[in-house]
Amino acid sequence: MKIFNKIPESLPITPILDKVEFPKDIRSFSNDELKQLADELREFLLYSVGVSGGHLGSGLGVIELTIVLHYLFNTPEDDLVWDVGHQAYPHKILTGRKNIINTVRQKDGLAPFPVIKESEYDAFGVGHSSTSISAALGMALANKKSLDNKRTIAVIGDGAMTAGMAFEGLSHTGHEKPNILIILNDNDMSISENVGGLSNYFSRIWASKLYKGIRKSGSSFLKNLPKAHHLARKVETQMKAMVAPGMIFEELGLNYIGPIDGHNIDEMLEVIGNLKEFEGPQFLHIITKKGAGLDAAEDDRIAFHAITKINGEESTKSKSPKYQDIFSKWIVDTAENDTKLVAITPAMREGSGLVEFSKKFPDRYYDVAIAEQHAVTFAAGLACKGKKPVVAIYSTFLQRAYDQLIHDVAVQNLDVTFALDRAGLVGEDGPTHSGNYDIAYLRCIPNIILMTPSDENETRKLLTTAYNFKGPSAIRYPRGSGPNVDVSEELAPIAIGEAKLIKEGNKNIVLLNFGALLHEARIVAEDLDLTLIDMRFVKPLDTKILKKYLRNAHMFISLEDGSISGGAGSAVQEFCSEENIIIKSKLLGIPDKFVAHGSREDMIRDAGLEAKQIIKTLETMLE
């Protein structure tokens, strides 16, 4: 493997890669040409991500695996399913998208993850973790019913294997026993460091040099002798039981092979080439390095999970604090005053702003791995015994624990605070990561209160309000920076359900703002001389202020960075119906569609939520 000490800033010379437009082009290459292709692909990936920004470390770690899979399997006829998709950039480069890979994550450019509509080589659309085994099993069983001799391959990381869904898929696979190859890409990482017993299990296997040596020299040789098949299987089982720290995958009904070197093309060609011919479910364990081939990325695998452009507008953006930084300081300050506070995150320490907390209060910090369902019920258990759990989670990932939120927290009215980062339109990661639906799916749950702060200072106030509330509470805030207002050091709550009058204008038309689009709302209110209220709370609504301003108004307009369907505006309509307030309404928010990836600003424009768009819409309607 060629090692690079920096990201190239000019287009590299890649004579072998230039011959490849689709995977069929590499299937005539010699082993030496495949190795050269790996070096060129790695250098091209470094250059292209340096130009576009995006996910880097995971892709660097699967360069050799991607080449081997497309070399050995007849893609796209054979189904290749990637988990999460952070590692899919090399796959995109080799499947007809090399010349536009620098558009990844940009408006009208390539998606950051595999997408069925983007390419026939993207067998399954992904974005959230731990789905590949279940999806691949469905494909394998469907293929089994057809006359086609299709192969099905799932590639899943060790971080994604910490989720319960992965083991549900494994258990069903072991029961059905289709011809499927599951490849565990073990790089000892997810985004943060992996945690938990399963991670320790992989680490112990990795450290077992004896096991690796036996697997390489002994068992594969025996398997190539048909007459010795039963002896080989017996010897292999005994060897695995002797040197491997557990037989979890074999017990689930899969043939476990490995671990092998995921950067050794010769070894993978031999092993995977043999596994193609095996009947039943095969589980191949490979060892890779996240960030492989770039010194800095190997040294700091968390920082190089994804990068911004080497040269571009990102480098000149404001250095104002992000909402996750506001949360970070708030939770540390609150924990210093309350020893009952416990912080929980499902593998998102850095993204959620819990790094400082984890250092200062290690005994009160829990990273439960990619296990959102467990995170919520675990918090419920802590709350039962008098602790004050704060679950820091991305809005889009809380969707995975909806049943636990209702059944284990809300029904029992337990004191759990949910800090929902990345609410609303997130930008470049696109619709799989946008938190558009939390208002709609949370406000219908009894016992919970729900808050939508409009700036950094409001976020700190409402976090304190949520934490002090004796019951389930949720506060949602967007990705990135806010308007950069001054933030008070106080840990002062506000009254539950209290809205804030921003501007009193034309009382016939009232603009109700919910959340982070207040800046746009101010522009609209000034331009059209509207009365503007920052509602702060979706549940409970400030009924006093609504009665005061809506009873004699002609129309209300609601503005939210969330789904119109079932959203905050709908809550106001329901209130008006209950109070027999006859009033026209215009609900502004995210329309009933998945908004394509781009910058957050691009997505807001696509949703029609920029101030000038709102003004034009309202002017036309008012005429």
Q: CATH for 500-622, among 3.30.930.10, 3.90.1150.10, 3.90.15.10, 3.40.50.920?
A: 3.40.50.920
Which of left, alpha, beta for 532 (phi over 0: left; psi -120 to 50: alpha)? beta
Which residues on adjacent β-strands are paired with residue 80?
Answer: 153
What average pLDDT does the segment 395-405 reach? 96
The Cα 257–Cα 323 span in angstroms is 45
The Cα 123–Cα 66 span in angstroms is 14
Residue found by looking up tokens 């702003």 in the block? 353
Which fold, 323-476?
A: Rossmann fold (3.40.50)
What average pLDDT does the segment 406-431 reach? 94
372-393: per-residue pLDDT in tens?
999 999 999 999 999 999 999 9
User: What secondary structure does DSSP assign to 212-223, as a single string?
Assistant: HHHIIIIIHHHH
Tokens of 413: 């009215």
- pLDDT computed for residue 242 by the predictor: 43
* Residue 107: pLDDT over 80: yes
Domain locations in the chain as residue ranges: 17-208+244-307, 323-476, 500-622
Per-residue burial over 116-151, b if 16 or more Cβ lie within 10 Å, else e, is eebbebbbbbbbbbbbbbbbbbbbbeebeeeeeebb
Highest averaged pLDDT of the listed ranges 36-45, 49-58, 159-168, 596-605? 36-45
137-156: per-residue pLDDT in tens?
999 999 887 756 889 999 99
The Cα 509–Cα 584 span in angstroms is 9
Residue found by looking up tokens 């329901």 in the block? 574
221-241: per-residue pLDDT in tens?
334 444 444 444 454 454 444
Active-site residues, by number, are: 290, 372, 400
Q: How many residues does the chain have?
A: 623
* Amino acid occupying residue 574: E
Q: Given this chain, do its domains 17-208+244-307 and 500-622 carry the same CATH topology?
A: yes
What average pLDDT does the segment 526-536 reach? 97
Collapsing DSSP to helix, strand or coil, 353 comes out as: coil
* Residue 243: pLDDT over 60: no
| Band (218; pLDDT cuts 50, 70, 90) | very low
Q: CATH for 17-208+244-307, among 3.40.50.970, 3.40.50.920, 3.40.50.12160, 3.30.420.40?
A: 3.40.50.970
Q: For residue 606, report the phi and psi dihedrals to the nearest 5 degrees.
A: -60, -30
Give the range among 311-315, 517-521, 534-538, 547-551 with minimum mean pLDDT. Answer: 311-315
Compare 53 and 310 and report the one with higher pLDDT.
53
- The structure's pTM equals 0.84
163-217: per-residue pLDDT in tens?
889 999 999 999 999 999 999 998 865 445 555 555 555 545 544 544 444 344 4
Half-sphere exposure of 24 (CA within 13 A, CB side): 4
The Cα 184–Cα 272 span in angstroms is 13
**Which whole-number Å values give the CA distances from 170 to 65, 185, 262, 277, 458, in the listed order?**
21, 15, 22, 20, 45
Tokens of 439: 């208002």
How many other CB atoms are there within 10 angstroms of residue 6's CB atom?
11
